[in-house]
Amino acid sequence: MGTRVVVVDDDREIREALRDALQDAGYEVFIVPNGLRLLSVLSVARPDVILLDVMMSWIDGFGLCEALKQNPRFCEIPVVFMSARTGLEDIRRGLACGAVDYVTKPFELDALLDRLNRLTAH
């Protein structure tokens, strides 16, 4: 079984592009459009890392990350934010709510893969 990554992004093109790239790099990938779907994936497949968009409907990425970090079952799963919000305050907020990294969009795929590889020892 490969390293499991869940991509949470409300943009279908981004989800599918990341799925394809991460699968090509040897990851087992799950894609979901929002936090509600993430909860259903977490109940059946524990990921090694979560790639999480900030700006989503229902609950934004910051709120979702905070909820994950408060849940004893999921608090140890590393979260990496992916966001078009590039301000220093947004980055600080993302890290303060428990993320291990914050990648700004548009991102270089190779750089994201390098970060994931270091994070998961893939």
Q: What is the pTM of this model?
A: 0.94
Q: What's the distance, CA 116 to chain centroid?
A: 10
> For 55-96, what is each residue's pLDDT tens digit?
988 789 999 999 999 999 999 999 999 999 999 999 999 999
What integer is the mean pLDDT of 7-32? Answer: 96
| E-assigned strand segments in the chain | 4-8, 28-32, 49-53, 79-83, 101-104
> For 27-47, what is each residue's pLDDT tens digit?
999 999 999 899 899 989 899
Measuring CA to CA, how many Å separate 7 from each of 16, 21, 32? Answer: 9, 12, 6
CA distance 100 to 105: 17
Query: What structural domains and CATH numbers belong to the chain?
Result: 4-101 (3.40.50.2300)
pLDDT at 56: 87
